[in-house]
C-alpha cells in the first residue's frame, strides 16, 4: 500500500476524529505521504497530526466548515499552495441524523444537504482545476450504506448521501479523460462517534452511542480497507459487517430488503 501513497499530497476533511483521524494514523505509519488535515477544530487537527507522529514538514492544517460552501475556492487555493499540488482529496467530513421524517424540522433536512452534499461538492469543484493542472488526481468520498438504500430515522441523511452518488457518478464520467478518478466509499456500522454527534429532529445532538455503531467494525480496520480501495481506484466499495449484505438485497431482492428494514432496529 505504501508505494501508492508515498510522496503524494493527500487532503483529508473531517480529520479531527473518527475515520479521518484513523486515515491520518494509517498513512503516517505506512507511507511517506504529506497530509493536509481539515475540519472545524483547528487545535484538534494539530493534536491528531502530532499524535500520529507527523513531522512538521509532512502536514498542514487548514480549518474549514462545509456549511460555508462559498469559502471553498479560497480554501482550495490555500490547500494547493501548501505543497504545490493535491494528489488525493478525501471528502470525509459530514453530519448524520437520528429522527423520524415527520418529526424533523425542514431546516434540519437543509442542514444535512448543505453539509453532506453542497459543501462536499463545492470543495470538490474548487480542487478539480488544480488536479487538471497536475494532469490527474483522485477524489474519494465517504458516503454511507444510506447512499445506496434508505432506513428509518435517516431520511435527510439518506437523501444527502444519495445525492452524492448521483453527482459523483456523473463527475466520474466527465473527468475520466482528465485522468481524475472517483472512489465512493460506503461504510456500514463503524466504531466512531457519528451517532453521538448526529442531529435529531430539532437540531439537537443525539448525544448517545447507537448499539450497532458501538458493535461495528473498528475504525482502524475500516481505514485500512478504505485506503486499499483507494489504492485500487475502486469506483465504489462497501465496507462493514453483515449489514453490507443489504446492498445486494437492494439490487436483487428489493422487496425482501424493504420488509427487513421495516422491522430492523435502526438506533
Residues with a catalytic annotation lie at 157
Please name the residue that has the C-alpha cell 424493504.
258
List the grid coordinates of 206: 443525539
CB–CB of 69/125 below 8 Å?
no
d(CA 186, CA 144): 4
Span between the terminal Cα atoms of the chain, in Å: 35
Please name the residue that has the C-alpha cell 439518506.
158
| Cα angle 143, 146, 148; round to 5 | 85
Taking alpha carbons only, the member of 140, 188, 180 closest to residue 164 is 140
Distances (CA, A) of 50 to 21, 25, 29, 60: 11, 10, 12, 11
* Cα Rg of the chain, angstroms: 18
Provide CB contacts within 8 A for 151, sequence distance 6+: 158, 261, 264, 266
Report residue 6 CA to chain centroid gap.
Answer: 22
d(CA 146, CA 154): 8
Amino acid at each position: 500500500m505504501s508505494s501508492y501513497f508515498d510522496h503524494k499530497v493527500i487532503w483529508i476533511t473531517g480529520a479531527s476524529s473518527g475515520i479521518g483521524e484513523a486515515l491520518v494514523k494509517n498513512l503516517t505509519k505506512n507511507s511517506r505521504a504529506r497530509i493536509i488535515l481539515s475540519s472545524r477544530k483547528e487545535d484538534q487537527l494539530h493534536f491528531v497530526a502530532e499524535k500520529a507522529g507527523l513531522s512538521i514538514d509532512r502536514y498542514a492544517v487548514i480549518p474549514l466548515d462545509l456549511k460555508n460552501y462559498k469559502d471553498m475556492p479560497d480554501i482550495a487555493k490555500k490547500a494547493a499552495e501548501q505543497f504545490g499540488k493535491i494528489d488525493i482529496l478525501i471528502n470525509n467530513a459530514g453530519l448524520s441524523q437520528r429522527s423520524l421524517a415527520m418529526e424533523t424540522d425542514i431546516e434540519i433536512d437543509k442542514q444535512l444537504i448543505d453539509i453532506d452534499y453542497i459543501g462536499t461538492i463545492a470543495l470538490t469543484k474548487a480542487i478539480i482545476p488544480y488536479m487538471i493542472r497536475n494532469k490527474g488526481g483522485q477524489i474519494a468520498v465517504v458516503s454511507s450504506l444510506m447512499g445506496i438504500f434508505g432506513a428509518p430515522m435517516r431520511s435527510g441523511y439518506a437523501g444527502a448521501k444519495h445525492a452524492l452518488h448521483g453527482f459523483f457518478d456523473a463527475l466520474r464520467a466527465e473527468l475520466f479523460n482528465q485522468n481524475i478518478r472517483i472512489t465512493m466509499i460506503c461504510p456500514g456500522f463503524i466504531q466512531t462517534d457519528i451517532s453521538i454527534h448526529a442531529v435529531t429532529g430539532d437540531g439537537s445532538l443525539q448525544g448517545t452511542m447507537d448499539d450497532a455503531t458501538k458493535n461495528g467494525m473498528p475504525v482502524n480496520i475500516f481505514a485500512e480497507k478504505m485506503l486499499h480501495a483507494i489504492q485500487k481506484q475502486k469506483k465504489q466499495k462497501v465496507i462493514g459487517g453483515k449489514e453490507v449484505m443489504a446492498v445486494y438485497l437492494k439490487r436483487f431482492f428489493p422487496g425482501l430488503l424493504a420488509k427487513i428494514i421495516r422491522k430492523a432496529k435502526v438506533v
